[in-house]
Amino acid sequence: MFTRLAYFRFFLAMSVVVFHLWRPIAPQAGRVAVMMFFFISGYLIAKLLSEAYKDRAKAFITNRFLRIYPIYWACAIFAFVVVLTIPEVAKTTNGAMDLPKTASNLFGNLIIFGQQGNPQRFLPPSWSLHVELVWYVLLFILYTAVEKFRVPVLMSFMIMPFIWAWMSNAPYYGNWIASGYAFALGALRYEFKGKIPTIIEWAAVLALPVILFATPLLFDLKGGSPKDIWSWLNLWVGPYVLFMAFGFFLKSTKRSMMADWAGSLSYPVFLVHWPCAALATAMGAERWLERFLVGTIITLIVSALVVAFVEEPLKARRTAIRKWNAA
């Protein structure tokens, strides 16, 4: 049981919430947190494909579907109701929260693929799920069909996206190709069998909140184009520091119900905080601090309901799938 990792995932989800709902105090935390989420996904997918689901493609695909889509659909229905009920407030809160204008826009909201470029998204963060699913597919191919050249290919994934993003002058953050290095780095962390010295590991753990919160404030980082070198470096360095710190989060600890809930809440919290912020605004919480506090409370309540009525009932099914044809 990765208890520490469960708490860290919740911390990252809340970093995204702070970034969106109270940005003056965390001007880049959400972007760095998303890149760290990508790193964690890269590690976990590599681990699952190498261990629990080795040579069991059907079980892997079925379990990933049950992990991603039911919670996403539950959150999307909630967001749709918010957009339908308070359309102007929702669109003012986040321009992507709007009713689909075409069948293609609606379809993207249902299947997730295509959400990166979808201008009408009930759940604005769903663009990152599009990126996740694309890299799930790429890592699946790599770990099932290109096993012999796994590490060299992962290393090329890390290098080429930077070159592509820099040469094309495309926005670095949010680009599925440029974001790929974080997935590749996470997968390489799984392949890395060496032990990082404890002092470096602890220094990296302490550096993570500095990179998320302190450094952007100190250097007035706000993201932007790939030519914005300091913001680019901040996004780039975050997953590398997590690489050094990751052993701390993988240490086995006693199973904790609180950690289970923290880990389970991280996904719906990440998804629903924008529509919850719209509700907070509709209730009169328009200032940064007010919207953050009220929006966060609503987010946690909605997320807890999603976990209780969607995630928890599926756990037994997912556990059974992990045992399909297991040796």
pTM (whole model) above 0.85: yes
Of residues 203 and 232, which shows the higher confidence score?
A: 203
Per-residue pLDDT tens for 4-13?
Answer: 999 999 999 9
- pLDDT category of residue 227 using cuts at 50, 70 and 90: low
Asked if residues 32 and 235 have their Cβ atoms less than 8 Å apart, the reply is yes
* pLDDT above 70 (res 170): no
Q: 281 pLDDT band (50/70/90 cuts)?
A: very high
Q: What are phi and psi of 163, to 5 degrees?
A: -65, -45
pLDDT at 225: 57
Gap between the Cα atoms of 18 and 8, Å rounded: 15
pLDDT reading at 226 higher than 60: no
Residues 105, 118: contact at Cβ < 8 Å? yes
pLDDT at position 130 is: 95
pLDDT in tens, 47-80: 999 998 988 999 999 999 999 999 999 999 999 9
| Per-residue tokens: 316 | 């037994």
Question: How many of the other CB atoms lie within 10 Å of CB of 11?
Answer: 16
At 144-159, the pLDDT tens digits run 888 788 999 999 988 8
Q: Please report the pLDDT score of residue 252 as a whole number.
A: 79
pLDDT value of position 159: 83
pLDDT one-digit tens code per residue, 26-50: 999 999 999 999 999 999 999 999 9
State how far the alpha carbon of 22 is from the alpha carbons of 18, 47, 56, 128, 209, in Å: 5, 35, 44, 20, 16
Question: What pLDDT shows up at residue 219?
Answer: 87
Cα separation, 286 vs 283, whole angstroms: 9
Give CA–CA dist 284/304, Å, rounded. Answer: 24
Residue type, 251: K
Residue where the block lists tokens 């930077």: 162
Asked if 36 and 182 count as a contact pair (C-beta separation under 8 A), the reply is: yes
- Neighbour count for residue 196 (Cβ, 10 Å): 16
